[in-house]
Each structure stands twice: as C-alpha cells, then as structure tokens.
Amino acid sequence: MVASVDKPPSLWAATAPPGGDHPRLSADIEADVTIIGAGFTGLRTALKLSEAGVKAVVLDAGDVAYGASGRTGGQVNPMLPFNTPDQLRKLLGQTYFERLTETSLASADELFSFIKSYQIDCQARQNGWLRVCHNKRALTAARKGVAEWNVHGAGMTVVEGGDLHKLAGSTAYDAGVVTPRGGAVQPMSLARGIAAAAVQRGVSIHGRSAVIDLEKDGGKWIAKTAHGSVRSDWVVVATNGYTGDLIPKLSGTILPLTPIQMATDPLPGDVIDSVLPQGHTISDSRRVIMYARKEPDNRMVYGGFGKLERSGEIGGFDWLQKDAERVFPQLKGANWTYNWGGRVALTDDHLPHLHEPKPGILAGLGYNGRGVAMSNVMGRVMAERILGADADALPFPTSPVKTIPFRSVKMQGLGTAVWFMRLLDYLETR
C-alpha cells in the first residue's frame, strides 16, 4: 500500500473547513518581511508581525499547510525529544538550558492558549499524552527523564500494569508516562485558522509561488518567483522538512524523515470507547515509534514512519496497519479509509535550530517530531527578533549553518536504517 507525498488523501484535508483564496504571486511588490513557507512557523511569524503593524507577505510552493503542517499526526507534545534537562545543560550551557527547558515545557500550553485567544476551530483538546515503554530499559530511561523534567514542573507520572491498560485501552505495553500538558489538534484546521487570522490583519498569502532566487539589492532582499517578486528588509525561511538550497547549506542541517498516518472510518461506539477512554494521545518508546489518537467523529488515527520511494510514493502502510492491530486488537477488521504522509526535519543534536546566516535573513527549522507546538514558539520568536529583540535574549541560540557530518551517506541509508531499527524493536518486544 502506497500514497503520494505530493497529493496525500489526508483525513485532515478532507475534514477541515475550506481554506481561503491564496492566489499565485503575479507582480513585483514590496513588503517589510517576506516569509517563505505557509506552514505553522511561517503563518505564526506573519500573524505576530501583522499585529505590530509590519507588512508581511507569505509565499508557498503549494498552499497553506502544504508541507508537514498539513500532514502531521496532530499531537501537541511539550518538551524536547531525546534530550533530558541534564543533557540540555551539557549541550547548551546554563543560560540556554534554562530558557529552552522552560520554553519547551510551556510550548503545548502556549499553543492551546493561542488557539483559544484567536477562537480557532481545530478540535483542540488537552487531555494528556501517554508515552508507553516497549521494554524495561525504556522504562528505566523514562523514570530518569520523569525525575529530571518534574524538577522543572512537568507534572509527569509513571503508570504501570492495570492502570496503564485502562488508560491505553491496550495490553500491548506494561508501563508508560503520562504528561498532562499534551493534547491534539486537527492540524489542517489549525493552519487554515491561523492563515485566516493573518489575512484579516493584512497579511498577503500567495500559493503556487515557489521562491526560485533570493538576492540582495542595496539594503533590500528580493525573493523571486516564476511570475513575480517581493522586495523586503527581512526574509524568513520556514520550510522545515521541505527546505531546499535557497540558503546555501541550509538543507544540509537536517535529515528529512517521512512520517505516515492512517485513519479509519467512524468506528462503532463500543470499539472506539475502549481505545484511550480518557482521550489521551499515545506514542511509544521504540526506535520506529507509533503514535495514535482518536477523533471526535469516532475515527482512529494511527501513525509511524514510512519510506519515501524514488517515484515519490510513500510506503509502509501495510506494516503500520499490522502494528495498529497489534497494539489495539479491537481495530481488526476496521476499514482504514485514509493514508498519507509527508516530511519532517531531524537535526543532528535533536534541537530546533534558529539561524541568521546573513543580516536580514532568519531560518527556523528542525522540530524533531515536536513541530505542532514548537513551530508556534519558533514563529513567535522570529517575529520578536524582527521587531527588535536582541538575538542573545531569545530562547533559542542563534547557531551557524552547519551541514550534518556524512549527511549524504545517512540519507542513502535511511531506508535500511528504518528496516534495521524495526528489526531491533521487534526483537525487544517479542
């Protein structure tokens, strides 16, 4: 079973309210800021700038939420992945450790507050996130992480045995961690809601307007598309897993991975009520993780990692369905109507990256699976920088653009690596 990376039959696109009209850029115009990428990051940047009276123009090769923002699993998970607070301190030093720990912990709350403030109808719910452990080693690591994060007010708890089985609606795992600040949104609805709020405040959004060249002319930057251009003081690059070579070496700072999701038809009440009965989202600790949630219309959404073929098709859905039925046997026989995928960005240090490669250019990317919440933060932060905030005062350190070592080799080996990690996961969960 395969899907296309370009036109995925996404549940989100099928059920979100219609988006606005975002015509192709067809003239040479001027603005204060040009934003490349109409996903969560770019739209949040544009909205904040517009409220400060700054004229922003957003350009996208596709349309609003064409990339990862419209293809994500929609989980709103706080905290950074992989790195515990102690590891953050070693990576960043005391100042940025404190800032980024606080920022990441608050990221889900910030997004839900933002949604409420702008009254965006995106099925937002903050019922908590359940991360289950696939073996004893993972549980040991989870206990350590809980202890470290709770020092900073995370409020996480370890649940085991029957208590976990009740929360999950599954006996596939015997221990896990509840993070109460986690939740979920309908991501396409969220993106279109942010876009609508931005347009209402004067932002111009242009779809089918890929930026093909970026050059300096005097004190201004000119972003050129096939049919027009934008001349501005600042340029924000917010393309994440879809980043190309417009900024030299920027694409080399990330590894684009391919998450995939599937969604069922609406399920009978007795079936859907038995899955995640308290409305938690769920993911696990395997190398090739699963993540899932149930929808207000009684559908089940289940995700993991797939493989992007050279043809542009995405594979891995057969494995994903088997895994869904392993974790939730009550889903056997369900009709999986939708399957889709996209690209997210993984950084070498598993941290979001904020770059300012030249005066007047900002790039924020690399959310490592925490993009729904962290992109909202990054967009706000880049807008604050443009509005005059000192780079040294931001929660993200401004880092140089550095290519991941041996990136080409790693890119060629991604498919094999995923297969091998699945094998290790299987052996550890037998």
Domain presence at residue 401: yes
Helix (H) or strand (E) holding 360: none
The three-state secondary structure class of 303 is strand
Predicted pLDDT at 3: 59
Domain presence at residue 294: no
Domain presence at residue 324: no
Beta bridge partners of 84: none
Domain presence at residue 309: no
Q: Which domain holds residue 63?
A: 9-72+188-248+349-405
Domain presence at residue 330: no
Domain presence at residue 238: yes
Structural contact between residues 41 and 191, judged by C-beta atoms closer than 8 angstroms: no
- Residue 76 tokens read as 């709103």
Of how many residues is the chain composed?
430
Kindly report the backbone phi and psi dihedral angles of residue 177, in degrees, each rounded to the nearest multiple of 5, phi listed first.
-125, 130
In whole angstroms, give the CA distance from residue 111 to residue 115: 6
In whole angstroms, give the CA distance from residue 346 to residue 258: 10
Predicted pLDDT at 62: 96
CA atoms within 13 A on the CB side of 326: 13
Please give the full DSSP string across 50-70, using - where no structure is assigned.
Answer: HHTT--EEEE-SS-TT-SGGG
Structural contact between residues 246 and 235, judged by C-beta atoms closer than 8 angstroms: no
In whole angstroms, give the CA distance from residue 413 to residue 422: 14
Question: 233-261: string of b/e by CB count within 10 Å (b at 16+)?
Answer: bbbbbbbbbbbeebbeebbbbbbbbbbbb
In whole angstroms, give the CA distance from residue 241 to residue 403: 15
The three-state secondary structure class of 123 is coil
Domain presence at residue 239: yes
Tell me the per-residue pLDDT of 78-112, one tens digit each, with 9 for 90 and over.
Answer: 999 989 999 999 999 999 999 999 999 999 999 99
Tell me the per-residue pLDDT of 293-333, one tens digit each, with 9 for 90 and over.
Answer: 999 999 999 999 998 777 878 889 999 999 999 999 999 99
Predicted pLDDT at 373: 98
In whole angstroms, give the CA distance from residue 317 to residue 340: 9
Positions of E strands within 290-335:
291-294, 300-305, 307-308, 313-315
Strands 213-217, 183-184: pairing kind: unpaired
Count how many domains the chain has. 1
Domain presence at residue 359: yes
Predicted pLDDT at 313: 85
- Residue 228 tokens read as 């027009």
How far does CA 89 lie from the centroid of its chain? 24
Predicted pLDDT at 312: 77
Residuewise pLDDT in 10s, the chain (430 residues)? 545 545 446 999 999 999 999 999 999 999 999 999 999 999 999 999 999 999 999 999 999 999 999 999 999 999 999 899 999 999 999 999 999 999 999 999 999 999 999 999 999 999 999 999 999 999 999 999 999 999 999 999 999 999 999 999 999 999 999 999 999 999 999 999 999 999 999 999 999 999 999 999 999 999 999 999 999 999 999 999 999 999 999 999 999 999 999 999 999 999 999 999 999 999 999 999 999 999 999 999 999 999 877 787 888 999 999 999 999 999 999 999 999 999 999 999 999 999 999 999 999 999 999 999 999 999 999 999 999 999 999 999 999 999 999 999 888 888 788 888 888 988 888 7
Q: CATH code at 206?
A: 3.50.50.60
In whole angstroms, give the CA distance from residue 312 to residue 207: 21
Please say whether the dihedral angle defined by the alpha carbons of residues 54, 59, 64 and 66, taken in this order, is positive or negative. negative
Please say whether the dihedral angle defined by the alpha carbons of residues 376, 77, 327 and 125, taken in this order, is positive or negative. negative
